[in-house]
């Protein structure tokens, strides 16, 4: 008999109690496991130096990367979800919302802000996956819709950075109709000949893909992102076969003709600046 | 006839009635009184059952094996003048959606309908009403054709969802649906969308942008089917009834949430109990709605359509109750 006896088995932290890792001094790449100083990693816009893996980041980081001197004006920050259906599954929707707000310090899964990028005006709607999987409910639809209105008034180009699992089920048909709302609003932007850029990041699926994300005047994606309509698990269950390697990645979507290009996050600001200039002149 | 579990009393009464009628036809015994009584009972049973349906029962009715599908509606409404038009002019013809023109009371209408099959073979041929990207592109091509010649469009929605297959992803299912939604919101012709069975998610919405969106009485429309909702949120298939309640997916719910514009009543006993009557009711609704929509100019129709969909959503605006200084602090 061994002198050491394990009383508890393995790691016992429940998913519920897991804590967000605090920002440390070192960063370990989730893909190639390379360890680099956090400071350098941030300087590289959270892209791994060795393998080019794009770490998932949120609106705060994208705004910082894109807006000149991180100067921007956020609009409609006070929009928060209501619970029109009094929805409850294993948990009440209102509880889920409260938890998400507390955990992320965000009011919803998208933030909209305008500012300058290399001295050009730009409106950005950027999603946060940390807020209920970046899911699209009434608030996201309304924020994007109002951002489009603002773009029309200000004659400012629009960039939407998508990072979402799709519609927010807890708002049922309301969330479905956000696809109609945002897409039909985009026809107005198009009528004014104001450019709309869509950047798809990891992951962009479901109702977001099947509405504004695929409707850009220029559709672009970060490398290696999951982009699709149905999630890979659903597709796998449907065809009852293993999925081919690289299925539904940015590279796959580009090969099939639905992206204009794939852009490394470190070149994003420069590329956007060129595009804005091209469309302007 | 097929009967669902909760339709069993109707089945029993119907069988009994048929037997009694058979006896009557042989003319041996006087059973006319019994027949009248049975007929009355049957009507009462139908009223009792169909007057108190749960959301889940309506979902079941929307998938009733005897329920009419798009082509039958179209053939009947156009008095068999319908000419089907195939293909997306690109990669193929999607059998899960049919489209074409027909004449209804002297006016040409472009019909687009998601099509299910009634036998196993047909169901497979129609891919269970699950469209591929080329289906949405075919539908859009036909709508554009209608627009060119100033003919109204009627779409019939009946799908368990857009097809989540490998090729569908390769050919851009997301883009196809998005493009269709986008283009439909600015079609210059009147567009009526009618949910005749299942209205599942983006697959339904892909042909669901119109000046009027109507639902038949026993149909459902939502972001996900109750079964999938149950499996995702409850992590089990056993909560479909609960999910059906929670999703507020019935015609009555959708109308009271102002997400659709009207409900088309079904014959007593549901659309499946009397196809011809159902077709007649739908035809009348189409004609009346079209007459209403034709009063507007194309520009006014488009504006109203976009405003209608843009108004959908429920949220709280904290800024409204704040001082400017407080509002500024929101902008983290």
Structure tokens at B173: 């299912």
Structure tokens at B37: 């009584």
pLDDT tens for B172-183 read 999 999 999 999
Cβ–Cβ < 8 Å for A18, A237: no
- C-alpha–C-alpha distance, residues B117 and A232, integer Å: 27
Question: What value of ipTM does the predicted structure carry?
Answer: 0.94
Structure tokens at A167: 């519609």
Domain ranges of chain B: 5-52, 60-310
B310/A185 CB distance under 8 A: yes
Helix (H) or strand (E) holding A199: strand A196-204
Phi, psi of B304 (to 5 degrees): -65, -40
Best mutation target among B168, B208, B312, B327 (most A Cβ atoms within 10 Å) is B312
Structure tokens at A75: 């609009």
Residue A19 has pLDDT above 70, yes or no: no
Interface contacts A/B by beta carbons within 8 Å: 218
Residues from chain B contacting residue A184 (CB–CB below 8 Å): 181-182, 185-186, 209, 305-306, 309-310
Residue B112 has pLDDT above 80, yes or no: yes
Residue A172 has pLDDT above 90, yes or no: yes
Q: DSSP class of residue A90?
A: S
Q: DSSP class of residue A255?
A: H
Which candidate from A142, A188, A229 shows the least CB-CB separation from B315? A142
Residue B209 has pLDDT above 90, yes or no: yes
A176/B257 CB distance under 8 A: no
Distance from CA of B14 to the nearest CA of A (A): 37
- C-alpha–C-alpha distance, residues A231 and A243, integer Å: 12
N-to-C CA span, chain B: 63
Q: Is B325 on the interface with A (CB under 8 A)?
A: no
Cβ–Cβ < 8 Å for A183, B178: yes
Sequence-separated contacts (24+) of A22-30 with Cβ below 8 Å: A29/A53, A29/A55, A30/A55
Res. A214 pLDDT band, cuts 50 70 90? very high
Phi, psi of A280 (to 5 degrees): -75, -45
Three-class secondary structure of residue A53 per DSSP: coil
Chain B, residues 149-188, CB within 8 A of chain A, namely: 162-166, 168-175, 177-179, 181-182, 185-186
- C-alpha–C-alpha distance, residues A62 and A45, integer Å: 9
Looking at the DSSP assignment, which residues form a beta bridge with residue A211?
Answer: none
Residues from chain A contacting residue B315 (CB–CB below 8 Å): 79-82, 137-139, 142
pLDDT tens for B59-81 read 999 999 999 999 999 999 999 99
B229/A169 CB distance under 8 A: yes
Structure tokens at B35: 């027949």
B178/A87 CB distance under 8 A: no
Res. B202 pLDDT band, cuts 50 70 90? very high
Q: Searching chain B, which residue's CA lies closest to the CA of residue A243?
A: B166
Looking at the DSSP assignment, which residues form a beta bridge with residue B157?
Answer: B195
Sequence-separated contacts (24+) of B323-328 with Cβ below 8 Å: B327/A77, B327/A78
Compute the radius of gyration of chain B from its Cα atoms: 22
Cβ–Cβ < 8 Å for A38, A26: yes
Q: What is the pLDDT of residue A7?
A: 72
Which candidate from A82, A88, A177 shows the least CB-CB separation from B246? A88
Res. B245 pLDDT band, cuts 50 70 90? very high
Burial of A44 (0-12, 13-18, 19+ CB in 10 A): middle
B202/A180 CB distance under 8 A: no
Average pLDDT over residues B254-281: 96
Residue A10 has pLDDT above 80, yes or no: no
Distance from CA of B188 to the nearest CA of A (A): 13
Q: Say which CATH superfamily domain B60-310 falls into.
A: 2-enoyl-CoA Hydratase; Chain A, domain 1 (3.90.226.10)
State whether the Cα torsion B201-B204-B209-B210 is positive or negative: negative
Cβ–Cβ < 8 Å for B65, B118: yes
Q: What is the pLDDT of residue A23?
A: 63
Three-class secondary structure of residue A117 per DSSP: strand
Three-class secondary structure of residue A1 per DSSP: coil
- C-alpha–C-alpha distance, residues A215 and A143, integer Å: 17
Residue A1 has pLDDT above 70, yes or no: no
B332/A183 CB distance under 8 A: no
Cβ–Cβ < 8 Å for A259, A107: no
Distance from CA of A4 to the nearest CA of B (A): 39
Q: What is the pLDDT of residue B328?
A: 72
Q: What angle do CA A260, A214, B100 make, to 5 degrees?
A: 115
What percentage of chain A has pLDDT greater than the value 70? 94
Residues from chain B contacting residue A252 (CB–CB below 8 Å): 170
Best mutation target among B187, B247, B315 (most A Cβ atoms within 10 Å) is B315
- The mean-pLDDT minimum among A60-74, A186-200, B40-54, B173-187 falls in B40-54
Indicate the class that CATH gives domain A3-21+57-280: alpha beta
Phi, psi of A53 (to 5 degrees): -65, 130
B178/A176 CB distance under 8 A: no
Q: What is the pLDDT of residue B22?
A: 86
Distance from CA of B110 to the nearest CA of A (A): 22
Compute the radius of gyration of chain A from its Cα atoms: 20
pLDDT tens for A219-241 read 999 999 999 999 999 999 889 99
Which candidate from A180, A209, A215 shows the least CB-CB separation from B309? A180
Residues from chain B contacting residue A247 (CB–CB below 8 Å): 166, 169
User: For chain B, what is the HEC assignment?
Assistant: CCCCHHHHHHHHHHHHHHHHHHHHHHCCCCCHHHHHHHHHHHHHHHHHHHHCCCHHHHHHHHCCCCCCCHHHHHHHHCCCCCEECCCCCCCCCCCCEEEEEEEECCEEEEEEEECCCCCHHHHHHCHHHCCCHHHHHHHHHHHHHHHHCCCCEEEEEEECCCCCCHHHHHCCHHHHHHHHHHHHCCCCCCEEEEEEEEEEHHHHHCCCCCCEEEEECCCEEECCCHHHHHHHHHCCHHHHHHHHHHHCCEHHHHHHCCCCCEEECCCCCCHHHCHHHHHHHHHHHHHHHHHHHCCCCHHHHHHHHHHHHHCCCCEEEHHHHCCHHHHHHHCC
B164/A230 CB distance under 8 A: yes
Which residue has tokens 């019909």? B111
A184/B331 CB distance under 8 A: no
Domain ranges of chain A: 3-21+57-280
Say if residue B199 is preceded by a cis peptide, omega within 30 of 0: no
Cβ–Cβ < 8 Å for A130, A58: yes
A80/B168 CB distance under 8 A: no
Looking at the DSSP assignment, which residues form a beta bridge with residue A200?
Answer: A162, A221
- Max intra-chain CA distance, chain A: 81
Phi, psi of B260 (to 5 degrees): -130, 170
Residue A174 has pLDDT above 80, yes or no: yes
Query: Which pTM does this prediction carry?
Result: 0.93
């Amino acid at each position: 008999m061994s002198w050491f006896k394990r009383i508890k088995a393995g790691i016992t932290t429940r998913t519920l109690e897991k804590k967000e890792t605090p920002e440390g001094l070192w960063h370990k790449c989730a893909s190639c496991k390379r360890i680099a100083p956090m400071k350098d990693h941030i300087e590289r816009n959270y892209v791994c130096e060795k393998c080019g893996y794009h770490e998932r980041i949120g609106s705060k980081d994208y705004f910082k990367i894109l807006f000149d001197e991180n100067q921007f004006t956020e609009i409609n920050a006070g929009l928060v979800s209501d619970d029109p259906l009094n929805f409850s599954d294993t948990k009440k929707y209102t509880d889920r919302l409260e938890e998400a707000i507390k955990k992320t310090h965000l009011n919803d899964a998208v933030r909209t802000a305008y500012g300058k990028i290399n001295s050009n005006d730009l409106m950005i709607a950027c999603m946060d996956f940390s807020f209920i999987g970046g899911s699209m409910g009434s608030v996201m639809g309304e924020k994007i819709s109002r951002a489009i209105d603002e773009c029309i008034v200000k004659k400012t180009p629009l960039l939407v950075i998508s990072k979402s699992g799709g519609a927010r089920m807890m708002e049922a048909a309301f969330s479905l109709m956000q696809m109609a709302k945002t897409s039909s609003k985009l026809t107005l932007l198009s009528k004014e000949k104001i450019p709309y850029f869509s950047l798809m990041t990891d992951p962009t699926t479901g109702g977001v893909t099947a509405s504004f994300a695929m409707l850009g005047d220029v559709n672009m994606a970060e490398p290696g992102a999951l982009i699709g309509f149905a999630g890979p698990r659903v597709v796998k269950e449907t065809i009852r076969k293993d999925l081919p390697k690289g299925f539904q990645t940015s590279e796959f979507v580009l090969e099939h003709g639905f992206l204009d290009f794939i852009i490394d996050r470190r070149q994003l600001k420069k590329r956007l600046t060129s595009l804005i200039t091209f469309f302007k002149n | 006839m097929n009967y669902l579990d909760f339709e069993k009393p109707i089945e029993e009464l119907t069988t009994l009635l048929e037997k009694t009628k058979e006896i009557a036809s042989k003319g041996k015994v006087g059973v006319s009184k019994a027949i009248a009584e049975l007929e009355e009972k049957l009507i009462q049973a139908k009223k009792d059952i169909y007057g108190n349906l749960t959301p889940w029962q309506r979902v079941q009715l929307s998938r009733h094996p005897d329920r009419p599908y798009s082509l039958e509606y179209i053939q009947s409404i156009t008095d068999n003048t319908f000419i089907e038009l195939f293909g997306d002019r690109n990669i193929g013809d999607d059998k899960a959606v049919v489209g074409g023109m027909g004449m209804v009371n002297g006016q040409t209408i472009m019909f687009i309908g998601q099509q299910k099959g009634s036998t196993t073979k047909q169901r497979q041929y129609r891919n269970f009403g699950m469209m591929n990207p080329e289906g949405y592109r075919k539908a859009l091509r036909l709508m554009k054709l209608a627009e060119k010649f100033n003919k109204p469009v009627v779409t019939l929605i009946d799908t368990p969802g857009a097809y989540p297959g490998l090729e569908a992803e390769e050919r851009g299912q997301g883009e196809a649906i998005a493009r269709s939604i986008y283009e439909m919101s600015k079609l210059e012709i009147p567009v009526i969308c009618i949910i005749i069975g299942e209205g599942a998610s983006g697959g339904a919405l892909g042909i669901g942008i119109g000046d009027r969106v109507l639902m038949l009485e026993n149909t459902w429309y939502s972001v996900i089917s109750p079964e999938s909702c149950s499996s995702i949120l409850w992590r089990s298939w056993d909560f479909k009834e609960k999910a059906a309640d929670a999703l507020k997916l019935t015609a009555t719910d959708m109308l009271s949430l102002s997400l659709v514009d009207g409900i088309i009543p079904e014959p007593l006993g549901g659309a499946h109990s009397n196809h011809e009557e159902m077709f007649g009711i739908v035809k009348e609704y189409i004609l009346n709605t079209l007459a209403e929509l034709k009063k507007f100019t194309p520009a006014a129709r488009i504006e109203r359509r976009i405003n209608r969909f843009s108004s959908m959503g429920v949220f709280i605006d904290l800024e409204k109750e704040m001082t400017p200084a407080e509002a500024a602090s929101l902008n983290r």
